[in-house]
């Protein structure tokens, strides 16, 4: 537990008085100027409160507050200004910089102790609550992840050929989305968003659960009618997601919905279900499309053998699987080694 009070004052007399007052309940550390104080604050995890003089050589009290704002320490460690100053401006500036309380010298020790004790207790509660909230957020995230994975596993069960397909899609989406984001500023996304997209990509084929076995697992070419039904897995997937929006994070839901609906759209507008064109298709849906096609080509299916990496890549570049965003293809090309490596690893795992 944080149990140290840091006393900062250039006059030893003032430090001794404060140390005497607080020594029973707390560990005491002393600094005779702002610079020493900052060194201690930055290196000691147990500071429960700082009693800070304003006017000091080296760094003064305001400088210490500024430094603590920069490092964010001010949000976790209460700072009491203990000063003989009654300059309203100085004291207001100190409050503005996050000081919790201002104590005038000479102070009444008993009152000062009560004030400091109370605030330390309050900060302890606050810091504990923050820890609890963070822990719960972590648990929620992991629950989220497992919900999404559970759904994906259900699809795998139905679509007995896809096997580890969803896992590979995740890996490919991560590589490709990161490359696109790094290479093109217009498609730049924060790492946290990319992580959400990767999680969401797992659900791209959730609609296949609504397609009958006869079509889903047909060991030959689909008829025109059958293909029309097969195409429905995009919209059906969205219908399923619409019924369970609460089991996942709102962002994950939005990404999943978009990817589910649009991972068969094509850059030239000849995809399905909405015939979106160019950047009408979100970049994450575009990325999952390429990942999905590459994985379908390099995997064995009931209706086809697995193509090797080079053949699959050539087929994608030649437009045999539809037209893709040239920028996504360039990023795909740049990440070829990573993709090849990751895919080989995952294909091995699924054998």
CA dihedral 111, 114, 117, 122 (to 10 degrees): -120
Residue 13 near other proteins by CB under 8 A:
yes
Residue 11 near other proteins by CB under 8 A:
yes
Return the active site residues. Answer: 208
Tell me which residues in 45-74 interact with other proteins (CB under 8 A).
Answer: 53, 55
Q: Provide, rounded to whole angstroms, the least separation between the CB of residue 55 and other proteins.
A: 6
Q: Provide, rounded to whole angstroms, the least separation between the CB of residue 2 and other proteins.
A: 23
| Dist. CA 231–CA 224, nearest whole Å | 11
Residue 87 near other proteins by CB under 8 A:
yes
Q: Provide, rounded to whole angstroms, the least separation between the CB of residue 93 and other proteins.
A: 15
Question: For residues 109 and 132, which CB has a smaller minimum distance to other proteins in the complex?
Answer: 109
- The tokens describing 96, both together, are 């503005």
Sign of the CA dihedral 202, 208, 213, 219? negative
| Residue pair 173/288 in contact by the 8 Å Cβ criterion | yes
Q: Provide, rounded to whole angstroms, the least separation between the CB of residue 190 and other proteins.
A: 48
Task: Tell me how crowded residue 33 is: count the other CB atoms within 10 A of its CB.
Answer: 18
Residue 25 near other proteins by CB under 8 A:
no
Question: Of 68-76, 83-91, 161-169, 191-199, which segment contacts other proteins by CB under 8 A?
Answer: 83-91
- Site for other proteins (CB under 8 A): which residue of 6, 7, 8, 17? 17
Contacts by residues 160-166 (CB-CB < 8 Å, ≥ 24 positions apart): 160/217, 161/217, 161/299, 161/300, 161/301, 161/302, 162/205, 162/208, 162/299, 163/299, 163/350, 164/346, 164/347, 164/349, 164/350, 165/205, 165/295, 165/299, 166/201, 166/202, 166/204, 166/205
| Residue pair 184/240 in contact by the 8 Å Cβ criterion | no
Residue 28 near other proteins by CB under 8 A:
no
Question: Of 80-88, 132-140, 184-192, 278-286, which segment contacts other proteins by CB under 8 A?
Answer: 80-88
- The tokens describing 98, both together, are 């996050």
Strand ranges inside the chain, DSSP E = 4-8, 27-31, 47-52, 79-83, 101-104
| Residue pair 145/200 in contact by the 8 Å Cβ criterion | no
Question: For residues 89 and 250, which CB has a smaller minimum distance to other proteins in the complex?
Answer: 89
Question: Of 15-23, 201-209, 217-225, 310-318, which segment contacts other proteins by CB under 8 A?
Answer: 15-23
Residue 133 near other proteins by CB under 8 A:
no
What SS3 state is found at 27? strand
Binding mask 93-132 for other proteins (x = CB under 8 A): ------------xxxxxx----------------------
Question: For residues 53 and 292, which CB has a smaller minimum distance to other proteins in the complex?
Answer: 53
Q: Provide, rounded to whole angstroms, the least separation between the CB of residue 53 and other proteins.
A: 8
Question: Of 77-85, 91-99, 157-165, 267-275, which segment contacts other proteins by CB under 8 A?
Answer: 77-85
- Site for other proteins (CB under 8 A): which residue of 20, 138, 228, 280? 20
Q: Provide, rounded to whole angstroms, the least separation between the CB of residue 104 and other proteins.
A: 8
Residue 228 near other proteins by CB under 8 A:
no
Residue 302 near other proteins by CB under 8 A:
no
Residue 12 near other proteins by CB under 8 A:
yes
Question: For residues 20 and 121, which CB has a smaller minimum distance to other proteins in the complex?
Answer: 20
End-to-end CA distance of the chain: 51
- Site for other proteins (CB under 8 A): which residue of 32, 33, 83, 256? 83
The Cα-based distances of 66 to 60, 70, 122, 222 in angstroms read 10, 6, 23, 69
| Dist. CA 197–CA 266, nearest whole Å | 19
Selection from 244, 245, 170, 181 nearest residue 205 by Cα? 170
Binding site for other proteins (CB under 8 A): 10-14, 16-17, 20-21, 53, 55, 83-85, 87, 105-110
């Amino acid at each position: 537990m944080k149990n140290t009070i840091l006393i900062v004052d250039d006059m030893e007399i003032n430090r001794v008085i404060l140390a005497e007052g607080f020594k029973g309940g707390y560990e005491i550390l002393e600094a005779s100027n702002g610079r020493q104080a900052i060194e201690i604050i930055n290196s000691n995890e147990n500071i429960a409160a700082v009693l800070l003089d304003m006017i000091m050589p080296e760094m003064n009290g305001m400088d210490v507050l500024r430094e603590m704002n920069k490092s964010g320490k001010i949000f976790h460690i209460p700072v009491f200004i203990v000063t003989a100053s009654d300059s309203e401006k100085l004291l207001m500036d100190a409050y503005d910089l996050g000081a919790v309380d201002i104590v005038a010298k000479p102070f009444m020790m008993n009152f000062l102790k009560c004030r400091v004790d109370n605030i330390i207790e309050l900060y302890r509660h606050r810091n504990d609550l923050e820890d609890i909230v963070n822990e719960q957020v972590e648990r929620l995230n992991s629950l989220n992840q497992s919900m999404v994975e559970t759904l994906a596993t259900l699809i795998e069960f139905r679509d007995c050929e896809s096997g580890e397909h969803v896992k590979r899609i995740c890996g490919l989406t991560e590589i490709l989305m990161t490359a696109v984001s790094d290479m093109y500023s217009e498609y730049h996304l924060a790492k946290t968003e990319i992580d959400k997209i990767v999680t969401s990509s797992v659900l791209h084929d959730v609609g296949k659960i609504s397609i009958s076995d006869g079509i889903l697992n047909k060991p030959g070419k689909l008829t025109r009618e059958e293909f029309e039904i097969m195409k429905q897995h995009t919209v059906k997937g969205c219908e399923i997601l619409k019924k369970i929006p609460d089991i996942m994070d709102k962002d994950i839901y939005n990404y999943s919905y978009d990817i589910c609906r649009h991972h068969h759209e094509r850059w030239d507008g000849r995809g399905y279900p909405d015939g979106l064109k160019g950047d009408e298709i979100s970049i994450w849906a575009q990325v999952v499309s390429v990942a999905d096609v590459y994985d379908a080509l390099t995997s064995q299916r009931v209706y086809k053998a697995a193509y090797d990496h080079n053949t699959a890549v050539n087929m994608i570049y030649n437009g045999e699987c539809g037209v893709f965003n040239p920028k996504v293809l360039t990023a795909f090309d740049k990440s070829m080694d990573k993709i090849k490596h990751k895919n080989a690893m995952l294909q091995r795992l699924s054998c």
